[in-house]
Amino acid sequence: DGATVDRGRKARCGFGEVIYGEGKPAELIVRVAEKLLELSPSVLVTRLAAEVFAEIQVPHWQMHYSPQARTLRIARTAEALAVVEESSSPLRPIAVVTAGSTDAAVAEEVAETLTWMRVPFRVLTDIGVAGPQRLLASLPALEGCAAAVVVAGMEGALPSVVAGHVPYPVIAVPTSVGYGASLGGITALLSMLTSCASNVSVVNIDAGFKGGYVAGLIACGQQVPPQSDGE
Amino acid sequence: DGATVDRGRKARCGFGEVIYGEGKPAELIVRVAEKLLELSPSVLVTRLAAEVFAEIQVPHWQMHYSPQARTLRIARTAEALAVVEESSSPLRPIAVVTAGSTDAAVAEEVAETLTWMRVPFRVLTDIGVAGPQRLLASLPALEGCAAAVVVAGMEGALPSVVAGHVPYPVIAVPTSVGYGASLGGITALLSMLTSCASNVSVVNIDAGFKGGYVAGLIACGQQVPPQSDGE
Amino acid sequence: DGATVDRGRKARCGFGEVIYGEGKPAELIVRVAEKLLELSPSVLVTRLAAEVFAEIQVPHWQMHYSPQARTLRIARTAEALAVVEESSSPLRPIAVVTAGSTDAAVAEEVAETLTWMRVPFRVLTDIGVAGPQRLLASLPALEGCAAAVVVAGMEGALPSVVAGHVPYPVIAVPTSVGYGASLGGITALLSMLTSCASNVSVVNIDAGFKGGYVAGLIACGQQVPPQSDGE
Amino acid sequence: DGATVDRGRKARCGFGEVIYGEGKPAELIVRVAEKLLELSPSVLVTRLAAEVFAEIQVPHWQMHYSPQARTLRIARTAEALAVVEESSSPLRPIAVVTAGSTDAAVAEEVAETLTWMRVPFRVLTDIGVAGPQRLLASLPALEGCAAAVVVAGMEGALPSVVAGHVPYPVIAVPTSVGYGASLGGITALLSMLTSCASNVSVVNIDAGFKGGYVAGLIACGQQVPPQSDGE
Amino acid sequence: DGATVDRGRKARCGFGEVIYGEGKPAELIVRVAEKLLELSPSVLVTRLAAEVFAEIQVPHWQMHYSPQARTLRIARTAEALAVVEESSSPLRPIAVVTAGSTDAAVAEEVAETLTWMRVPFRVLTDIGVAGPQRLLASLPALEGCAAAVVVAGMEGALPSVVAGHVPYPVIAVPTSVGYGASLGGITALLSMLTSCASNVSVVNIDAGFKGGYVAGLIACGQQVPPQSDGE
Amino acid sequence: DGATVDRGRKARCGFGEVIYGEGKPAELIVRVAEKLLELSPSVLVTRLAAEVFAEIQVPHWQMHYSPQARTLRIARTAEALAVVEESSSPLRPIAVVTAGSTDAAVAEEVAETLTWMRVPFRVLTDIGVAGPQRLLASLPALEGCAAAVVVAGMEGALPSVVAGHVPYPVIAVPTSVGYGASLGGITALLSMLTSCASNVSVVNIDAGFKGGYVAGLIACGQQVPPQSDGE
Amino acid sequence: DGATVDRGRKARCGFGEVIYGEGKPAELIVRVAEKLLELSPSVLVTRLAAEVFAEIQVPHWQMHYSPQARTLRIARTAEALAVVEESSSPLRPIAVVTAGSTDAAVAEEVAETLTWMRVPFRVLTDIGVAGPQRLLASLPALEGCAAAVVVAGMEGALPSVVAGHVPYPVIAVPTSVGYGASLGGITALLSMLTSCASNVSVVNIDAGFKGGYVAGLIACGQQVPPQSDGE
Amino acid sequence: DGATVDRGRKARCGFGEVIYGEGKPAELIVRVAEKLLELSPSVLVTRLAAEVFAEIQVPHWQMHYSPQARTLRIARTAEALAVVEESSSPLRPIAVVTAGSTDAAVAEEVAETLTWMRVPFRVLTDIGVAGPQRLLASLPALEGCAAAVVVAGMEGALPSVVAGHVPYPVIAVPTSVGYGASLGGITALLSMLTSCASNVSVVNIDAGFKGGYVAGLIACGQQVPPQSDGE
Ligand SMILES: Nc1ncnc2c1ncn2[C@@H]1O[C@H](COP(=O)(O)O)[C@@H](O)[C@H]1O
Ligand SMILES: Nc1ncnc2c1ncn2[C@@H]1O[C@H](COP(=O)(O)O)[C@@H](O)[C@H]1O
Ligand SMILES: Nc1ncnc2c1ncn2[C@@H]1O[C@H](COP(=O)(O)O)[C@@H](O)[C@H]1O
Ligand SMILES: Nc1ncnc2c1ncn2[C@@H]1O[C@H](COP(=O)(O)O)[C@@H](O)[C@H]1O
Ligand SMILES: [Mg+2]
Ligand SMILES: [Mg+2]
Ligand SMILES: [Mg+2]
Ligand SMILES: [Mg+2]
Ligand SMILES: [Mg+2]
Ligand SMILES: [Mg+2]
Ligand SMILES: [Mg+2]
Ligand SMILES: [Mg+2]
């Protein structure tokens, strides 16, 4: 009937399958999400157009849709949708950093993903390299994190510069912000891949979801989980 | 005099500067390594040609050169060069996985980097997707790791498949193994970036060093470090 | 008058010319299809927009239009349009496999093409590599086929993995599903071309028609045809 | 010890694993081939440099090395290495066609692969489109085949033209023959992928092995195999 | 005032400047065309959108607008706009050939350009290589021409095949017809540039104007012009 | 609150931050511009859509919006918005040159940037290389300038040709004017980067702002500034 | 035996097949050339390495090998190898123009091709656009030609500029001269394809043979040939 | 005789023609340099291989060859070859900055070019963004310059960061240092073109000559030249 839900994903990978919303009809999303809600407290849908979201109405669901990130989080209770405060979590936070204010939509997808994973985070907006004192002013906020997700378009230089200041992994998310030689984000992507900083790995263009997910796993890994450590 | 050593790297980032050996004369490498050895117990040089290594002779140095990985590790004592056993380390190991036997050189660079970082690792060789039962047989060895570094050329499919089996980050390292439409590793790189698995991030083509470094940082982060957690 | 119908195609190649619908006005399609119907029991039009189909009205035609596949099949009788059951055909079936549910439109074009060729097929939906147990569960359905058409976007890894399980040709169809480094399907295409599995050949991006056609010819070839074997 | 042989490949896929020779030392090739010879009557090594072949000496092996194709076939008996005559085979032959005489090395790799598979073939050399009467003269030789493997560099037009004359699949193999805008075979590859002929599928640049293997499987499939058809 | 008309173009190059219509307002086109009409009997505008043409109204102008080719020809008399018959011209005709019926718009731009140049032409539509007997049937019509303009999309193979049959230059015009690996016409362009036929030169994608212009100059050059031959 | 204004830009770089308008809501632009107006007499916004501009209404602002250039200049007094006459400036002018009349929008962005910087300029329109006498006629106007900004699409040849006539830097601005092999301006960009003239440097495609800014800095640098020269 | 000579080429196309020397052994070249010499007074081999030429020794042949162009012309008499003087030919000459002195090898291939075709030519060396007065000084030599072949690397601007001065076709030959963004000639190729001059068509990178051949056909076409005009 | 010297270059552009050494024989270089030495006190040759330099011996020449930069400067007196001290020049210096020590060869080409132009400069080596305090320590040395030439490979981030600190133009020179996704310098090039800093323009990959030349012209322009300002 149009989809084969990966029911074992949560057991194997720690988190359930995430629904890729692009090109899927509302009816299919509802059907798949119902199945996933049986296995997890909340479900994430990414790249979901506002028009498709408008067609989704399920009485017993709590939902949080972010028009900027184009993400939907679904749960059975409102609590399962709330943002996680740093103070109330055993996990170190993730730093979510953007180069320009136009990168905000992708950073929002990072934040929605981390919220779905129950991982706390700190947001640092618009501190790109053309105004270098802005990053210096942000250094205290970068301390004590488990990882940073750095979101940047155009020349994508910010992850390299942030990475030169921190002792943890930087997940670089290139964005399609820019024009001409930006090539829809390819330039930022290539630039981040060739970073002269050692602690930078990269995900797909505009892939706030993936950047957030990898960073969230790093944060989760630092809390030694009794159940999965039994080998 | 040809180089400005980044003396603060260890304090800021946890590990000292690594020397990019490509195109540097032996004399410059010796000079920079001497300065770095004042700050760290061992020094790593990557992409170092065998001919240049042959010119490096410093009486008070212990050295380990890997011709396959083209890496050099330098220390003042032989102990600082030894591989770290999983049993004698407080850290979870890193899984180092290759798709084909031709990817071995890049995997060796991963291993050399982890050894330099004092992180234990497990090696799983030649378990690419065309013989799928090989990965299934390796699943037990993938349990309990902090992260996996998956090295693959050609279509670069292995990271996606490994990632579907594990609850931790997978660092994908594309290699230039292949011909024609492999485009010197670009195909594997693009393939890994567009992985349908959520927990995959990517580093540069043939960048065993970077894959190992990011994975090593993840392993190190799981041992809550008393000194750097003071904020 | 705007078109030179290839009247000998059926004699030379076994099946008549297929009309490429993109950019052609309804009037031209009707004119060409009439000529082709003189030579074959049914005619296939591909990449036909719904608006152009809406303008096509020919009283003595039976038609089947698939909005998802954007294909039109035309015949003089309804029987010539029916799907071919595996049980009622002397031919082995084709396996039509998709990686994600978003690849369904292209798989539908495969199915419509096979139906037009009178070849039976089995559909396996949404069994991509991020949930690897789904393919294992599908292995019985892959047995006894003449060939498989594997449709996948993003990193395009599924054809390699399917190919590692079957003793017949796999025709890989890359799709434009994905974003950023997917490059509109180029990544999946390159990935499939560099597959480490030996039994994979590839057709154009989103070319469900071509994937189905090649697979259909393989199925037809297995039934030794008395008439064309006279040399 | 450097390699994990895929021992189940023959059972799953009909033919054993083929050794990708590029970058592998002679010692490793010998070791892997020994294991594979336990499972199959003969073993194929592709992309093997002449210098590496020169180091391979195993007393109880029969070997056939093609310097042009850079392939090695290994067997325990000389019979297992002989070319298969069309008259002595239950299978239809494969047509192996080249556009120019410079494409001969890739065609030779096709032929070596088919010989290893025990499939008969016919060779048609240097009948590219700039001299169009040459293909017309070859049409009789194209009749009655199971498939054609068409090898072409430069603009890669020959597969489209051959495909317009035959009722079976054409496997197009682009070659790196050409200069400038040939882009090392990319142009021929793209050209073949966008062929206006319906019955063309494509493999990697210079991938004579893959072209031959897919064609060989098609030929083998036409002889209904009693053992594997039991479902 | 927005434009510097190249008043000497006709004297230097034989024909006046042609107005590139894309992105130009109607008012500017009228102004430039008025100046050019002082120097030449008729003026050509290319890539002119129907909406912009609708705004152009000049009482003393005769105009011929082709919606398919998006060209406009302007003259002071209707005679100057008429198509040139082969029989009434001292020049050999140009063959205008298309591969598929979808290439018609670009061929129409060729025809409009030749009409503006007062050069006769013959049109051969939809004779692409997948139906090879169509070209053979057209060979008589290709005889006695000064040059051929061959318009093709997808794999762009037709110019090579036509060129193998004629003793004069073939100007190849790649079109953006196709999808996926067609890359908006880049594949056809590269394919034509690497043609194995010697007598093929190439112009930009969809550049019917340029293909027609170069061919027209070749036709004009064959009539030894008394005035410009005075050196 | 969505943006971190770079308050030190004017002190460090001589001119305040410029707002990149693409994708920013009117409300955010107003907020940032207010902060910048505290530091500079006028503020520049680039790549601002007319619809967003229509939403910007601040009573105490003087504004100049250019629909062609899609730029907005904001000041507290009308004087601060006026164009600078060459005769009333201590600075040498900048030559702003276009190849075709379709390049005018980008040239207008150059002019708006120079006006914001208070630098005089001379405009030379539509003097591209296909009508070479037009540049020769313009040579006197190119004398005595501090630099030239040369704007060209298609093959981007004009900067090389202008540069061969002048003793000062030429800033080349490629535009996305053209079609097919123009690749949205990539061809002009590459062409300008490989110019055989020595005095050409290049900015991004359609980056009139950047071309104007660099040229403006060169003009400003020629007037020895008493304040910043104190080292 | 390795080659299928196109014996009808001379009848169909006016000139016999030309041997593409790259990758062919000397023995094969001799064999093919012998067959072609039966049909034509002289034979042309292109892209022939000096080492392969050194192996070619046929007593009854006259040969002219150009090490710079890497071409070989073979004839039975020395007369058939001589350069054709403009004064002794009924044909208009071809202008062979280079941008820089490094383009000389490709221009030499043009000249060798024209000599083989018995077409006179004029050479204009090193008159690129950075020194624009050099082209102006060459204008008289460009008068009265049938066509120009313009050879240029780097930004490839010269064909556009030459084309703006002449009333006949310009065949542009991009060369691989340059570095970095020259991309091995791709930049010059794209630049020439997007020329704003109307009378420019393009051949492959470094394809002096093709540029010369097309220009030679244009020259030959201007002499109304009694024999081939009989339709 | 192989070259057409641009004798008017010095008068038109302020400096004489520079010889592009790549692919030119020693004899041609000597001949052209002799002609240029009649017009200027010194001559610059770029991209000159050491082997070719070794063949150049002219008794009355003073020469300075840099093996690292592969440049040769030729003069009649030793004085004309000396480096220009900042203290003895009326011009502001140029800052020549490198990101890593491997970029030194290109920086040396910048320095040689500036010396040839008689412009003083300051060199800042190996201050790339991964060790960010190094740039901060260099800020005083960046003060008071006319322009900076910033040389960087890999991700090419340094020009953006330097540009954020200075009030003058930054000429960015991408280098081919790096591997994999560096694409031979293309990534650094694209990154620099899309810099979010406003004052960055870019030259070709490894084009130290061009970076130095443009910067040198900017320095020269700041000294109001009495002779050329006469309009
Ligand atoms: N924004 C996203 N980017 C990349 N992969 C995603 C995204 N959202 C979901 N996915 C993955 O896409 C797969 C689901 O694809 P589908 O079957 O088409 O819904 C899951 O394995 C997810 O991990
Ligand atoms: N979806 C498709 N993809 C590729 N080729 C096609 C497709 N549909 C039809 N064709 C081929 O396109 C040709 C017809 O092109 P046209 O003359 O433009 O109708 C036929 O040879 C078909 O085999
Ligand atoms: N369709 C076309 N393709 C390429 N060049 C063209 C086209 N139409 C006109 N041109 C050229 O564009 C130039 C005019 O450009 P513009 O000044 O922008 O009108 C003239 O030199 C024409 O030769
Ligand atoms: N048209 C433009 N092209 C490139 N950079 C620009 C442009 N307009 C503004 N900028 C730069 O973009 C930065 C502001 O980015 P944002 O924070 O997104 O507003 C500033 O540093 C400007 O120098
Ligand atoms: Mg900002
Ligand atoms: Mg293996
Ligand atoms: Mg799914
Ligand atoms: Mg041949
Ligand atoms: Mg057709
Ligand atoms: Mg114009
Ligand atoms: Mg020169
Ligand atoms: Mg360094």
Q: Write the secondary structure of H66-129 as one string of H (helix), E (strand) and C (coil).
A: ECCCCEEEEECCCHHHCCCCHHHCCCCCEEEEECCHHHHHHHHHHHHHHHHHCCCEEEECCCCC
CA–centroid distance, residue A3 to ligand 7 (Å): 6
Give residues with Cβ within 8 angstroms of F3, minimum separation 6. A101, A125, A126, F28, F31, F32
Q: Which residues of chain E have a CB within 8 Å of the CB of G193? A: 189, 202-204
Q: Is the pLDDT of residue H228 over 60?
A: no
Query: Model confidence over B13-27: pLDDT tens digits?
Result: 899 999 999 999 999
> Which residue in E143, E193, E228 is closest to G203 by CB distance?
E193
Q: What is the CA radius of gyration of chain C?
A: 18
Q: Which of B101, B126, B139 to mutate to test the interface with D (most CBs of D within 10 A)?
A: B101
Cβ–Cβ < 8 Å for F15, F40 = yes
Measure CA of the first residue to CA of the last residue in chain C; give whole Å. 38
- Average pLDDT, whole number, for chain F? 94
Query: Model confidence over B187-229: pLDDT tens digits?
Result: 999 999 999 999 999 999 999 999 999 999 999 998 744 444 3
Query: Model confidence over C135-184: pLDDT tens digits?
Result: 999 999 999 999 999 999 999 999 999 999 999 999 999 999 999 999 99
Cβ–Cβ < 8 Å for A213, B164 = no
Q: Which residues of chain H have a CB within 8 Å of the CB of G101? A: 2-3, 24, 28
Element (H, E) at D122: strand D121-124
Interchain pair B179, D204: CB under 8 A: yes
Reading across the β-sheet that carries A147-152, which strands appear in turn?
A: A121-124, A94-98, A147-152, A170-174, A200-202, B200-202, B170-174, B147-152, B94-98, B121-124
Query: Model confidence over C35-78: pLDDT tens digits?
Result: 999 999 999 999 999 999 999 999 999 999 999 999 999 999 99
Q: What is the largest CA-CA distance in chain F?
A: 55
In chain E, % helix, strand, coil (3-state, to 5) comes to 40, 15, 45
CA distance E59 to chain F (A): 25
More confident residue, B159 or A230: B159
Q: Which residues of chain E have a CB within 8 Å of the CB of F126? A: 2-4
Strands G42-46, G19-20: pairing kind = parallel
Q: Is the pLDDT of residue H223 over 70?
A: yes
Q: Is the pLDDT of residue B96 over 80?
A: yes
CA distance G191 to chain F (A): 4
What pLDDT is stored for residue E230 in this prediction?
Answer: 34
Query: Model confidence over E209-221: pLDDT tens digits?
Result: 999 999 999 999 9
Residue type, A169: P
Residue among D112, D96, D94, D110 at smallest CA distance from D220? D94
Residue among G176, G175, G187, G173 at smallest CA distance from G215? G173
Q: Which residues of chain E have a CB within 8 Å of the CB of C189? A: 180-181
Cβ–Cβ < 8 Å for B53, B65 = yes
Ligand at minimal distance from the CA of F197 is 11
Give the C-alpha separation, E204 to D156, whole Å: 20
> Which residue in H101, H180, H181 is closest to B3 by CB distance?
H101
**DSSP of E109-159, one letter per residue?**
HHHHHHHHHT--EEEE-S--TTSTHHHHHHHHHHTT-SEEEEEE-TT--HH
F20 CB less than 6 Å from ligand 4?
yes
CA–centroid distance, residue C129 to ligand 7 (Å): 10
Cβ–Cβ < 8 Å for D30, D5 = no
What pLDDT is stored for residue B1 in this prediction?
Answer: 76
Chain F contact partners (≥3 CB pairs within 8 A): A, E, G, H
Confidence of residue D66 (pLDDT cuts 50, 70, 90): very high
Of all atoms in ligand 1, which is nearest to the CA of residue A3?
A: 17
Give residues with Cβ within 8 angstroms of D221, minimum separation 6. C146, C147, C168, C169, C218, C221, C222
Buried b (16+ CB within 10 A) or exposed e, C19-38: bbbbbbebebbeebbeebbe
| Helix/strand/coil for G171 | strand
**DSSP of D41-87, one letter per residue?**
SEEEEES--HHHHHT---TT-EEEEETTTTEEEEESSSGGGSPPPGG
Confidence of residue D30 (pLDDT cuts 50, 70, 90): very high
> Which residue in G186, G188, G196 is closest to F100 by CB distance?
G196
| Helix/strand/coil for G30 | helix
CA–centroid distance, residue A37 to ligand 7 (Å): 15
Residue among A29, A23, A59 at smallest CA distance from A44? A29
What pLDDT is stored for residue H16 in this prediction?
Answer: 93
Residues of F with CB under 8 A from a CB of H: 9, 12-15, 18, 20, 140, 143-144, 146-147, 163-169, 171, 189, 193-194, 198-204, 209-211, 213-214, 217-218, 221-222, 224, 228-229, 231
A70 CB less than 6 Å from ligand 1?
no
CA distance E215 to chain C (A): 23
Query: Model confidence over B169-193: pLDDT tens digits?
Result: 999 999 999 999 999 999 999 999 9
Ligand at minimal distance from the CA of G98 is 11
Residue F226 falls in which region: left (phi positive, over 0), alpha (psi -120 to 50) or beta: alpha
Query: Model confidence over E21-32: pLDDT tens digits?
Result: 999 999 999 999
What pLDDT is stored for residue F1 in this prediction?
Answer: 77
Segment D169-192 mean pLDDT: 98
Find, in chain A, the residue whose alpha carbon is nearest to that of H130: A164
Segment D202-231 mean pLDDT: 81
* D147 DSSP β-pair partners: D94
Q: How many CB atoms lie within 10 A of CB A222?
A: 18
Give the C-alpha separation, B16 to D79, whole Å: 62
Cβ–Cβ < 8 Å for B46, B21 = yes
Q: Is the pLDDT of residue H231 over 60?
A: no
Give the C-alpha separation, C104 to C122, whole Å: 14
Residue H189 falls in which region: left (phi positive, over 0), alpha (psi -120 to 50) or beta: alpha
Sign of the CA dihedral with D160 first, then D166, D171, and D176 last: negative
C109 CB less than 6 Å from ligand 2?
no
Segment G45-59 mean pLDDT: 97
Segment C76-99 mean pLDDT: 96
C36 CB less than 6 Å from ligand 2?
no
Confidence of residue D2 (pLDDT cuts 50, 70, 90): confident
Confidence of residue H229 (pLDDT cuts 50, 70, 90): very low
CB pairs below 8 Å between A and F: how many?
52
Q: Is the pLDDT of residue H126 over 60?
A: yes
Which of the residue ranges F64-73, G106-115, H129-138 would you say has the lowest mean pLDDT?
H129-138
E179 CB less than 6 Å from ligand 2?
no
Strands B71-75, B42-46: pairing kind = antiparallel
Segment G172-190 mean pLDDT: 97
Reading across the β-sheet that carries G42-46, which strands appear in turn?
A: G19-20, G42-46, G71-75, G62-66
Q: Which residues of chain A have a CB within 8 Å of the CB of C97? A: none
CA–centroid distance, residue B203 to ligand 12 (Å): 20
What pLDDT is stored for residue H155 in this prediction?
Answer: 95
| Helix/strand/coil for D145 | coil
C120 CB less than 6 Å from ligand 1?
no
Chain B contact partners (≥3 CB pairs within 8 A): A, C, D, H
In order of H30, H33, H35, H53, the CA distances from H75 in angstroms are 12, 10, 12, 15
Q: Please state which CATH class domain A86-222 belongs to.
A: alpha beta
Residue among G10, G58, G21, G173 at smallest CA distance from G106? G173
Q: How far is Cα of residue D71 from the mean position of the Cα atoms in its chain? A: 10
What pLDDT is stored for residue F71 in this prediction?
Answer: 98
Report residue E226 as tokens: 């008394």
Q: What is the CA radius of gyration of chain E?
A: 18
What pLDDT is stored for residue C226 in this prediction?
Answer: 42
> Which residue in H132, H165, H178 is closest to A194 by CB distance?
H178
CA–centroid distance, residue G4 to ligand 8 (Å): 6
What pLDDT is stored for residue C223 in this prediction?
Answer: 73
Segment A178-204 mean pLDDT: 98
Strands G94-98, G147-152: pairing kind = parallel
- CATH number, domain C86-221: 3.40.50.1970
Interchain pair E102, C22: CB under 8 A: yes
| Helix/strand/coil for G96 | strand
Segment H120-148 mean pLDDT: 94
Segment E82-91 mean pLDDT: 95
Ligand at minimal distance from the CA of C17 is 2
Cβ–Cβ < 8 Å for F189, A181 = yes
* H45 DSSP β-pair partners: H19, H72
What pLDDT is stored for residue B225 in this prediction?
Answer: 44
Q: Which residues of chain C have a CB within 8 Å of the CB of E177? A: 22-23
* Cβ-based burial of H26 (10 A; exposed 0-12, middle 13-18, buried ≥19): middle
Reading across the β-sheet that carries H94-98, which strands appear in turn?
A: F121-124, F94-98, F147-152, F170-174, F200-202, H200-202, H170-174, H147-152, H94-98, H121-124
In order of B160, B196, C106, C182, C190, the CA distances from C178 in angstroms are 15, 9, 14, 6, 14
Find, in chain C, the residue whose alpha carbon is nearest to that of E101: C3
Confidence of residue G230 (pLDDT cuts 50, 70, 90): very low
- The angle at the Cα of H182, spanning H178 to H183, to the nearest 5 degrees, equals 120
- The angle at the Cα of B22, spanning B18 to B24, to the nearest 5 degrees, equals 85
* H94 DSSP β-pair partners: H121, H147
Report residue C217 as tokens: 């010819």
What pLDDT is stored for residue H143 in this prediction?
Answer: 96
All structural domains of chain G with their residue ranges = 9-81, 86-222
Give the C-alpha separation, C162 to G7, whole Å: 48
